[in-house]
Amino acid sequence: MKVLVLHGPNLNLFGTREKSIYGSATLADINSELEKIAQELSVEITCLQSNSESVLIDEIHRAGAEKVDGLLINPAAYGHTSIALRDAILGVSLPCVEVHASNIYAREEFRHKTYLSDIAIGVITGFGANSYFLGLRALVKSLTDRKKTSA
C-alpha cells in the first residue's frame, strides 16, 4: 500500500512557528515518526512539503496517475481557501484524511471551514504532531477495510 503525505504552506516552520499552537516538533521529526509508523503498518509513504499550491496539486495528480492508495494531507491555510486543491483530490478520486495540528475550531472563525473536510474520509484536528500519526493509522485502516469489502 502506498500513501502520499502532503504538508501545506508554512508547515516547514514546525518547531519554530507559534510553539504555543503548533508545538516544538519539527517537520523532520513528524516525517521521521510517520516513517516509523508506516514501517510498522507495512505501508510505503512519500512525504512532501510545499508552500506552493501548484506543487501540491501536481503531486496529487501524480499520485492519481501512479495509483497511490491514499492521501494524508495537512493543507494548512490552503484548506480554507483552495477550491483547486479540492478539485485535484476529487479529480483523481484519491481517498484522503485531512489533518491539522491545531484545533481549527478553537481559532479564528475563518479557519472553521475547510474545502476538504466534506470529501475526506475523516478529519483529525487539534492534537499537534499526533494528528498526523492518528491520521496515518486511520487512513491505512480505512483503506485496508475497503480492500477487504471489495474483495
Active-site residue list = 22, 100
Beta strands in the chain (DSSP E): 2-7, 44-49, 70-74, 96-100, 122-125
Cβ atoms within 10 Å of 16's Cβ, excluding its own: 10
- CA-nearest of 113, 121, 124 to 142 is 121
**CB burial string 100-131: b at 16+ within 10 A, e below:** bbbebeeeeeebeebbbbeebbebbbebbbbb
- The DSSP bridge partners found for residue 73 are 6, 98
> Which residues on neighbouring strands pair with residue 71, listed in sequence order?
4, 96
Task: From 43, 22, 74, select the one nearest 137 (Cα to Cα).
Answer: 43
